[in-house]
């Protein structure tokens, strides 16, 4: 479902990603880890087609992104549910309008959108906040709203950029459980960027470690925890 081959990207002549290659099979979940500035968020932006790599090739399912026009990329993005680190909610829209935004862009009927939004609010345990605005929500509530919006159209691909950054352990655990439940419900293929490696291990089939733009390891979670550099990172030591 997701495949990168030899992907590289530089900004102002400084390499940020170098020869990145890995595959996530359909229905699989990859935990993408690494220190700040390692290039994790950039990988997700490349997978969304928001940034084009300088080298290498990227596929989502059988579609190679490189040759696509911006209009064609918009169609591909419709198959992706993206959870942003900084929420990226529209302040001027209610919670219900934020969650329903992807469906509105697909020109779904208003009553169908309302029903779908309420279903998602129930699933993320926020059934009564549809009329409220993002500024009225706590950080944990905003994350759950982001999760509801990202999955309201049942995308086959989920990309999650540090979905629990800044949250307390109880809320973090709740978010990861919701991620796993929704991923399993849709049989989606997922990449989760996170520093919460203890939460990633139980829900990820595979782990990839980036270090200063290079791929140190990519493979099954059982092998990852035995890899010396991955294990060191998970235990809080610098790679």
Distance, in Å, from the CA atom of 201 to the CA atom of 31, rounded to the nearest integer, reads: 8
Domains in the chain, CATH or no CATH each: 1-79+160-239 (3.40.50.300), 88-154 (no CATH)
How many Å separate Cα 84 from the centre of its chain? 7
Whether pLDDT at 233 is above 80: yes
Question: What pLDDT, in 10s, does the model give residues 127-145?
Answer: 999 999 999 999 889 989 9
Pairing of strands 157-161, 55-60: unpaired
For a pLDDT cut of 70, what percent of the chain falls above it?
Answer: 99
Q: In three state form, how does the secondary structure of the chain look?
A: CEEEEEEEEEECCEEEEEEEEEEECCCCEEEEEECCCCCHHHHHHHHCCCCCCCEEEEEECCEECCCCCHHHHHHHHCCEEEECCCCCCCCCCCHHHHHHHHHHHCCCCHHHHHHHHHHHHHHCCCCCCCCCCHHHCCHHHHHHHHHHHHHCCCCCEEEEECCCCCCCHHHHHHHHHHHHHHHHHHCCEEEEECCCHHHHHHHCCEEEEEECCEEEEEEEHHHHCCCHHHHHHHCCCCC
pLDDT for res 237: 52
Percent of the chain beyond pLDDT 90?
Answer: 64
**66: burial class by Cβ within 10 Å (0-12, 13-18, 19+)?**
exposed
Question: CB neighbours (10 Å) of residue 147?
Answer: 23
Quick one: angle between helices 95-105 and 139-151, nearest 10?
A: 20
Lowest pLDDT segment from 3-12, 86-95, 168-177, 212-221: 168-177
Is residue 106 scored above 50 in pLDDT?
A: yes
pLDDT-derived band of residue 166, with 50, 70 and 90 as boundaries? confident
Q: What pLDDT, on a 0 to 100 scale, did the predictor assign at position 239?
A: 43
CB atoms within 10 A of CB 86: 10
Model pLDDT, residue 238 = 45
- The string of pLDDT tens digits covering residues 154-163 is 999 999 998 8
Q: What's the mean pLDDT in 39-66?
A: 93
Mean pLDDT of 86-90: 86
Question: Residue 125 pLDDT more than 70?
Answer: yes
């Amino acid at each position: 479902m997701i495949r990168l081959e030899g992907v590289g990207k530089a900004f102002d002549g400084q390499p940020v990603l170098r020869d990145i290659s890995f595959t996530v099979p359909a229905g699989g979940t990859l935990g993408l880890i690494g220190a700040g500035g390692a290039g994790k968020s950039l990988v997700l932006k490349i997978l969304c087609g928001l940034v084009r790599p300088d080298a290498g090739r990227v596929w989502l399912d059988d579609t190679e992104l490189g040759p696509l026009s911006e209009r064609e990329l918009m169609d591909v993005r419709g198959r992706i549910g993206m959870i942003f680190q900084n929420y990226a909610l529209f302040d001027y829209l209610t919670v219900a309008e934020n969650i329903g935004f992807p469906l509105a862009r697909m020109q779904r009927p208003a009553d169908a959108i309302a029903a779908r939004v309420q279903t998602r609010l129930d699933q993320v345990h926020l059934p009564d906040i549809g009329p409220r605005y993002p500024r009225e929500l706590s950080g944990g509530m905003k994350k759950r709203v982001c999760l509801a919006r990202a999955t309201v159209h049942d995308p086959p691909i989920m990309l999650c950029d540090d979905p629990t950054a800044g949250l307390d352990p109880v809320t973090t655990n709740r978010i990861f459980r919701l991620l796993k439940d929704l991923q399993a419900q849709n049989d989606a293929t997922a990449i989760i960027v996170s520093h919460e490696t203890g939460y990633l291990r139980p829900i990820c089939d595979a782990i990839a470690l980036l270090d200063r733009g290079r791929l140190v390891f990519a493979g099954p979670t059982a092998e990852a925890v035995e890899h010396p550099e991955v294990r060191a990172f998970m235990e809080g030591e610098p790679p």
